Amino acid sequence: MKISAIIKSAFNRHEVIVQTNDTAKEMQIAVKAAGYGSSVNGGELLMLSLATCFCNDIYREADKRKIPVSAVEVEVTGDFGAEGEPGSNFQYKAHVTADASQQEINDLINYVDQIAEIHNTLRKGISITLIK
Protein backbone atom coordinates (compact mmCIF):
# COMPACT_ATOMS: atom_id res chain seq x y z
CA MET A 1 0.00 0.00 0.00
CA LYS A 2 1.50 3.32 -1.10
CA ILE A 3 0.29 6.39 0.81
CA SER A 4 1.10 9.99 -0.08
CA ALA A 5 0.11 13.55 0.73
CA ILE A 6 0.50 16.64 -1.44
CA ILE A 7 0.14 20.29 -0.46
CA LYS A 8 -0.01 23.07 -3.03
CA SER A 9 0.14 26.42 -1.30
CA ALA A 10 0.12 30.01 -2.54
CA PHE A 11 -1.41 33.26 -1.35
CA ASN A 12 -4.95 32.49 -0.10
CA ARG A 13 -4.76 28.99 -1.60
CA HIS A 14 -4.12 25.76 0.25
CA GLU A 15 -4.85 22.55 -1.63
CA VAL A 16 -4.42 19.23 0.18
CA ILE A 17 -4.58 15.83 -1.52
CA VAL A 18 -4.06 12.51 0.23
CA GLN A 19 -3.80 9.26 -1.65
CA THR A 20 -3.68 5.53 -0.92
CA ASN A 21 -2.66 3.48 -3.94
CA ASP A 22 -4.86 4.82 -6.77
CA THR A 23 -7.50 6.49 -4.59
CA ALA A 24 -6.99 10.23 -4.11
CA LYS A 25 -9.09 12.44 -1.84
CA GLU A 26 -9.09 16.21 -1.43
CA MET A 27 -9.17 17.58 2.12
CA GLN A 28 -10.27 21.04 3.11
CA ILE A 29 -7.84 22.84 5.41
CA ALA A 30 -8.16 26.59 5.66
CA VAL A 31 -5.35 28.99 4.83
CA LYS A 32 -3.70 30.89 7.71
CA ALA A 33 -5.16 34.32 8.37
CA ALA A 34 -2.02 35.90 6.85
CA GLY A 35 -2.85 34.16 3.55
CA TYR A 36 0.07 31.73 3.36
CA GLY A 37 0.33 28.20 4.70
CA SER A 38 -2.04 25.96 6.62
CA SER A 39 -4.20 27.09 9.54
CA VAL A 40 -3.52 23.66 11.06
CA ASN A 41 0.03 22.87 12.16
CA GLY A 42 1.94 19.64 11.64
CA GLY A 43 1.77 18.68 15.29
CA GLU A 44 -2.02 18.90 15.21
CA LEU A 45 -2.11 16.77 12.07
CA LEU A 46 0.25 14.24 13.67
CA MET A 47 -2.09 13.94 16.67
CA LEU A 48 -5.02 13.59 14.25
CA SER A 49 -3.14 10.90 12.34
CA LEU A 50 -2.63 8.87 15.52
CA ALA A 51 -6.25 9.32 16.59
CA THR A 52 -7.56 8.43 13.13
CA CYS A 53 -5.40 5.32 12.87
CA PHE A 54 -6.53 4.04 16.26
CA CYS A 55 -10.20 4.82 15.59
CA ASN A 56 -10.23 3.11 12.19
CA ASP A 57 -8.33 0.10 13.51
CA ILE A 58 -10.83 -0.30 16.37
CA TYR A 59 -13.68 -0.59 13.86
CA ARG A 60 -11.67 -2.94 11.61
CA GLU A 61 -10.60 -5.27 14.42
CA ALA A 62 -14.01 -5.17 16.13
CA ASP A 63 -15.59 -6.27 12.85
CA LYS A 64 -13.18 -9.24 12.70
CA ARG A 65 -14.24 -10.18 16.24
CA LYS A 66 -17.93 -9.63 15.48
CA ILE A 67 -18.13 -6.90 18.14
CA PRO A 68 -20.68 -4.22 17.20
CA VAL A 69 -19.06 -0.88 18.03
CA SER A 70 -21.40 2.11 18.18
CA ALA A 71 -18.90 4.84 19.10
CA VAL A 72 -15.18 5.52 19.46
CA GLU A 73 -13.56 8.56 21.06
CA VAL A 74 -9.78 8.98 20.92
CA GLU A 75 -7.79 11.87 22.40
CA VAL A 76 -4.09 12.13 21.57
CA THR A 77 -1.75 14.65 23.19
CA GLY A 78 1.91 15.48 22.89
CA ASP A 79 4.31 18.24 23.83
CA PHE A 80 6.30 20.34 21.37
CA GLY A 81 8.98 22.79 22.45
CA ALA A 82 11.12 25.22 20.51
CA GLU A 83 11.33 25.30 16.72
CA GLY A 84 13.19 22.28 15.42
CA GLU A 85 12.76 20.18 18.56
CA PRO A 86 10.98 16.84 18.21
CA GLY A 87 7.75 16.20 20.05
CA SER A 88 7.68 14.24 23.29
CA ASN A 89 5.32 12.81 25.89
CA PHE A 90 2.87 11.41 23.34
CA GLN A 91 -0.11 9.83 25.10
CA TYR A 92 -3.60 8.84 24.16
CA LYS A 93 -6.78 7.61 25.68
CA ALA A 94 -9.67 5.86 24.03
CA HIS A 95 -13.26 5.17 24.91
CA VAL A 96 -15.12 2.52 22.94
CA THR A 97 -18.85 1.92 23.21
CA ALA A 98 -19.80 -1.55 22.02
CA ASP A 99 -22.28 -4.32 22.54
CA ALA A 100 -19.72 -6.46 24.38
CA SER A 101 -18.41 -7.06 27.87
CA GLN A 102 -15.98 -4.55 29.35
CA GLN A 103 -13.29 -7.25 29.21
CA GLU A 104 -13.88 -7.76 25.47
CA ILE A 105 -13.71 -4.01 24.90
CA ASN A 106 -10.51 -3.72 26.94
CA ASP A 107 -8.98 -6.66 25.04
CA LEU A 108 -9.90 -4.97 21.76
CA ILE A 109 -8.36 -1.64 22.84
CA ASN A 110 -5.17 -3.35 24.04
CA TYR A 111 -4.85 -5.36 20.84
CA VAL A 112 -5.32 -2.31 18.63
CA ASP A 113 -2.71 -0.46 20.69
CA GLN A 114 -0.25 -3.20 19.73
CA ILE A 115 -1.05 -3.28 16.00
CA ALA A 116 -1.93 0.33 15.09
CA GLU A 117 0.32 1.11 12.13
CA ILE A 118 0.95 4.81 12.72
CA HIS A 119 1.65 4.19 16.40
CA ASN A 120 4.09 1.41 15.55
CA THR A 121 5.79 3.54 12.89
CA LEU A 122 6.52 6.24 15.47
CA ARG A 123 7.44 3.74 18.18
CA LYS A 124 9.98 2.15 15.87
CA GLY A 125 11.44 5.45 14.71
CA ILE A 126 11.69 6.29 11.03
CA SER A 127 14.09 7.79 8.56
CA ILE A 128 12.81 10.73 6.55
CA THR A 129 14.78 11.59 3.40
CA LEU A 130 14.60 14.83 1.45
CA ILE A 131 14.69 14.01 -2.25
CA LYS A 132 16.20 16.77 -4.39
How many angstroms separate the CA atoms of 52 and 115, rounded?
A: 14
Instruction: Indicate whether 62 and 7 sit together in one domain.
Output: no
This prediction has a pTM of: 0.92
Residues written for the chain: 132
CATH number at residue 76: 3.30.300.20
Instruction: Indicate whether 85 and 110 sit together in one domain.
Output: yes
Beta bridge partners of 19: 4, 24
**Over the stretch 42-81, which tens digit does the pLDDT of each residue have?**
999 999 999 999 999 999 999 999 999 999 999 999 999 9
Instruction: Indicate whether 56 and 34 sit together in one domain.
Output: no
How many angstroms separate the CA atoms of 31 and 11, rounded?
A: 8
Contact indicator for 34, 60 with CB cutoff of 8 Å = no
**Over the stretch 97-114, which tens digit does the pLDDT of each residue have?**
999 999 999 999 999 999
Contact indicator for 98, 105 with CB cutoff of 8 Å = yes
